Chains A and B, each alone.
Chain A
Amino acid sequence: QKEVEQNSGPLSVPEGAIASLNCTYSDRGSQSFFWYRQYSGKSPELIMFIYSNGDKEDGRFTAQLNKASQYVSLLIRDSQPSDSATYLCAPESNSGYALNFGKGTSLLVTP
Protein backbone atom coordinates (compact mmCIF):
# COMPACT_ATOMS: atom_id res chain seq x y z
CA GLN A 1 0.00 0.00 0.00
CA LYS A 2 1.42 3.34 -1.05
CA GLU A 3 1.52 5.93 1.73
CA VAL A 4 -0.43 9.16 1.62
CA GLU A 5 0.13 11.41 4.59
CA GLN A 6 -2.12 14.21 5.74
CA ASN A 7 -2.26 16.07 9.03
CA SER A 8 -5.49 14.91 10.63
CA GLY A 9 -6.16 18.29 12.22
CA PRO A 10 -8.45 19.78 13.11
CA LEU A 11 -7.17 22.80 11.26
CA SER A 12 -9.02 25.81 12.56
CA VAL A 13 -9.08 29.06 10.57
CA PRO A 14 -11.21 32.17 10.96
CA GLU A 15 -13.77 33.05 8.33
CA GLY A 16 -12.18 34.93 5.44
CA ALA A 17 -8.71 33.50 6.00
CA ILE A 18 -6.73 31.18 3.74
CA ALA A 19 -6.82 27.51 4.68
CA SER A 20 -3.80 25.47 3.59
CA LEU A 21 -4.15 21.71 3.42
CA ASN A 22 -1.10 19.60 2.74
CA CYS A 23 -0.45 16.08 1.52
CA THR A 24 2.67 14.04 0.86
CA TYR A 25 2.75 10.78 -1.03
CA SER A 26 5.26 8.00 -1.45
CA ASP A 27 4.45 6.63 -4.90
CA ARG A 28 6.67 8.46 -7.39
CA GLY A 29 4.64 6.90 -10.18
CA SER A 30 1.50 8.84 -9.30
CA GLN A 31 0.63 11.23 -12.10
CA SER A 32 -2.79 12.52 -11.11
CA PHE A 33 -3.92 13.94 -7.80
CA PHE A 34 -7.41 14.49 -6.53
CA TRP A 35 -8.90 16.43 -3.65
CA TYR A 36 -12.20 15.27 -2.24
CA ARG A 37 -14.31 17.04 0.36
CA GLN A 38 -16.34 14.98 2.82
CA TYR A 39 -18.89 16.55 5.10
CA SER A 40 -19.61 14.65 8.29
CA GLY A 41 -21.78 11.65 7.56
CA LYS A 42 -21.75 12.31 3.83
CA SER A 43 -19.96 10.82 0.85
CA PRO A 44 -16.75 12.27 -0.60
CA GLU A 45 -17.18 14.72 -3.47
CA LEU A 46 -14.48 15.71 -5.92
CA ILE A 47 -13.49 19.36 -5.75
CA MET A 48 -10.17 19.59 -7.58
CA PHE A 49 -7.70 17.54 -9.54
CA ILE A 50 -4.24 18.35 -10.84
CA TYR A 51 -1.89 16.58 -13.21
CA SER A 52 0.96 19.01 -13.82
CA ASN A 53 3.50 20.62 -11.55
CA GLY A 54 2.52 24.09 -10.45
CA ASP A 55 -0.76 25.67 -9.50
CA LYS A 56 -4.29 25.12 -10.70
CA GLU A 57 -6.98 27.56 -9.68
CA ASP A 58 -10.73 27.03 -9.60
CA GLY A 59 -12.68 29.77 -7.89
CA ARG A 60 -11.60 30.01 -4.26
CA PHE A 61 -9.63 26.76 -4.53
CA THR A 62 -6.02 26.38 -5.68
CA ALA A 63 -4.29 23.03 -5.96
CA GLN A 64 -0.50 22.99 -5.95
CA LEU A 65 1.66 20.09 -7.07
CA ASN A 66 5.37 19.45 -6.72
CA LYS A 67 6.19 15.99 -8.02
CA ALA A 68 9.88 16.28 -7.19
CA SER A 69 9.01 16.82 -3.54
CA GLN A 70 6.04 14.43 -3.73
CA TYR A 71 3.85 17.11 -2.27
CA VAL A 72 0.39 18.33 -3.15
CA SER A 73 -1.62 21.00 -1.40
CA LEU A 74 -5.00 22.66 -1.48
CA LEU A 75 -5.50 26.31 -0.65
CA ILE A 76 -8.94 27.67 0.12
CA ARG A 77 -9.16 31.45 -0.06
CA ASP A 78 -11.80 33.49 1.76
CA SER A 79 -12.71 30.44 3.86
CA GLN A 80 -16.37 30.11 4.76
CA PRO A 81 -18.01 28.14 7.58
CA SER A 82 -19.56 25.98 4.85
CA ASP A 83 -16.02 24.85 3.95
CA SER A 84 -15.83 23.04 7.29
CA ALA A 85 -15.34 19.41 6.32
CA THR A 86 -12.69 16.74 5.97
CA TYR A 87 -10.49 17.09 2.91
CA LEU A 88 -9.12 13.90 1.41
CA CYS A 89 -6.02 13.81 -0.73
CA ALA A 90 -6.07 11.02 -3.30
CA PRO A 91 -3.18 10.32 -5.63
CA GLU A 92 -3.93 7.99 -8.47
CA SER A 93 -2.56 4.53 -7.83
CA ASN A 94 -0.44 2.68 -10.34
CA SER A 95 -3.54 0.71 -11.32
CA GLY A 96 -4.80 3.77 -13.17
CA TYR A 97 -8.20 3.64 -11.50
CA ALA A 98 -8.05 2.95 -7.78
CA LEU A 99 -7.36 6.02 -5.69
CA ASN A 100 -5.06 5.93 -2.69
CA PHE A 101 -6.82 8.07 -0.15
CA GLY A 102 -5.16 9.77 2.77
CA LYS A 103 -6.95 9.79 6.10
CA GLY A 104 -7.97 13.38 5.52
CA THR A 105 -7.57 16.72 7.24
CA SER A 106 -10.47 18.08 9.23
CA LEU A 107 -11.00 21.79 8.55
CA LEU A 108 -13.02 24.02 10.83
CA VAL A 109 -13.81 27.56 9.69
CA THR A 110 -14.98 29.66 12.58
CA PRO A 111 -17.32 32.67 12.08
Chain B
Amino acid sequence: GNSVTQMEGPVTLSEEAFLTINCTYTATGYPSLFWYVQYPGEGLQLLLKATKADDKGSNKGFEATYRKETTSFHLEKGSVQVSDSAVYFCALRGNYGQNFVFGPGTRLSVLP
Protein backbone atom coordinates (compact mmCIF):
# COMPACT_ATOMS: atom_id res chain seq x y z
CA GLY B 1 0.00 0.00 0.00
CA ASN B 2 0.90 3.65 -0.14
CA SER B 3 3.16 5.03 2.56
CA VAL B 4 5.10 8.16 3.53
CA THR B 5 8.32 8.34 5.50
CA GLN B 6 9.61 11.54 7.07
CA MET B 7 12.79 12.38 8.90
CA GLU B 8 12.40 12.06 12.62
CA GLY B 9 12.28 15.14 14.74
CA PRO B 10 12.40 17.21 16.63
CA VAL B 11 14.46 19.58 14.52
CA THR B 12 15.84 22.61 16.33
CA LEU B 13 17.32 25.48 14.34
CA SER B 14 18.40 29.03 14.97
CA GLU B 15 16.57 31.84 13.25
CA GLU B 16 17.71 32.41 9.64
CA ALA B 17 19.12 28.89 9.33
CA PHE B 18 18.44 26.71 6.29
CA LEU B 19 15.76 24.06 6.70
CA THR B 20 15.39 20.68 5.03
CA ILE B 21 12.82 18.11 6.10
CA ASN B 22 13.13 14.89 4.14
CA CYS B 23 10.10 13.03 2.82
CA THR B 24 10.04 9.89 0.73
CA TYR B 25 7.05 7.92 -0.43
CA THR B 26 5.93 4.57 -1.76
CA ALA B 27 2.97 4.55 -4.09
CA THR B 28 1.71 2.95 -7.26
CA GLY B 29 1.10 5.18 -10.21
CA TYR B 30 1.44 8.93 -9.95
CA PRO B 31 0.34 10.30 -6.59
CA SER B 32 -0.18 13.94 -5.69
CA LEU B 33 2.13 15.12 -2.91
CA PHE B 34 1.49 17.62 -0.16
CA TRP B 35 3.03 19.33 2.83
CA TYR B 36 0.71 20.30 5.66
CA VAL B 37 1.66 22.37 8.71
CA GLN B 38 0.15 22.34 12.17
CA TYR B 39 0.92 25.37 14.32
CA PRO B 40 0.53 25.04 18.09
CA GLY B 41 -3.13 24.87 19.04
CA GLU B 42 -4.34 25.03 15.45
CA GLY B 43 -5.63 22.64 12.82
CA LEU B 44 -3.72 21.28 9.85
CA GLN B 45 -3.17 23.77 7.03
CA LEU B 46 -2.06 23.07 3.51
CA LEU B 47 1.40 24.53 2.97
CA LEU B 48 2.12 23.46 -0.61
CA LYS B 49 1.40 20.73 -3.13
CA ALA B 50 2.67 19.18 -6.36
CA THR B 51 0.62 16.96 -8.63
CA LYS B 52 3.12 15.62 -11.13
CA ALA B 53 6.79 14.77 -11.48
CA ASP B 54 9.20 17.74 -11.49
CA ASP B 55 6.51 20.12 -10.24
CA LYS B 56 7.69 22.51 -7.55
CA GLY B 57 5.27 23.62 -4.88
CA SER B 58 6.02 26.83 -3.00
CA ASN B 59 4.41 28.99 -0.36
CA LYS B 60 5.59 31.36 2.40
CA GLY B 61 9.23 30.83 1.41
CA PHE B 62 8.93 27.03 1.59
CA GLU B 63 9.58 24.89 -1.48
CA ALA B 64 9.39 21.20 -2.37
CA THR B 65 10.02 19.47 -5.70
CA TYR B 66 8.29 16.26 -6.75
CA ARG B 67 11.13 13.87 -7.65
CA LYS B 68 9.76 10.68 -9.12
CA GLU B 69 13.18 9.14 -9.72
CA THR B 70 13.99 9.30 -6.01
CA THR B 71 10.35 9.14 -4.82
CA SER B 72 10.98 12.20 -2.68
CA PHE B 73 9.32 15.51 -1.83
CA HIS B 74 11.75 17.23 0.54
CA LEU B 75 10.66 20.50 2.17
CA GLU B 76 13.14 23.39 2.16
CA LYS B 77 13.31 26.97 3.34
CA GLY B 78 16.27 29.24 2.99
CA SER B 79 15.85 31.24 6.20
CA VAL B 80 13.53 30.06 8.95
CA GLN B 81 11.79 32.32 11.42
CA VAL B 82 10.58 31.71 14.97
CA SER B 83 7.04 31.79 13.60
CA ASP B 84 7.81 28.69 11.49
CA SER B 85 7.88 26.58 14.65
CA ALA B 86 5.26 23.90 14.04
CA VAL B 87 4.77 20.26 13.09
CA TYR B 88 5.15 19.52 9.37
CA PHE B 89 3.39 16.58 7.72
CA CYS B 90 4.20 15.13 4.32
CA ALA B 91 1.23 13.45 2.64
CA LEU B 92 0.20 11.80 -0.59
CA ARG B 93 -3.01 11.08 -2.38
CA GLY B 94 -2.84 8.08 -4.65
CA ASN B 95 -4.38 7.77 -8.08
CA TYR B 96 -6.98 5.25 -7.10
CA GLY B 97 -8.45 6.57 -3.89
CA GLN B 98 -9.45 9.84 -2.37
CA ASN B 99 -7.96 9.40 1.04
CA PHE B 100 -4.64 10.86 2.06
CA VAL B 101 -1.73 8.98 3.59
CA PHE B 102 0.22 11.12 6.04
CA GLY B 103 3.70 10.77 7.40
CA PRO B 104 4.25 10.88 11.17
CA GLY B 105 5.14 14.56 11.21
CA THR B 106 8.35 16.43 12.01
CA ARG B 107 8.38 18.96 14.81
CA LEU B 108 10.41 22.08 14.05
CA SER B 109 11.51 24.50 16.75
CA VAL B 110 13.18 27.73 15.69
CA LEU B 111 15.09 29.60 18.38
CA PRO B 112 15.65 33.37 18.30
Whether chains A and B associate is no
Interface positions of A (Cβ within 8 A of B): none
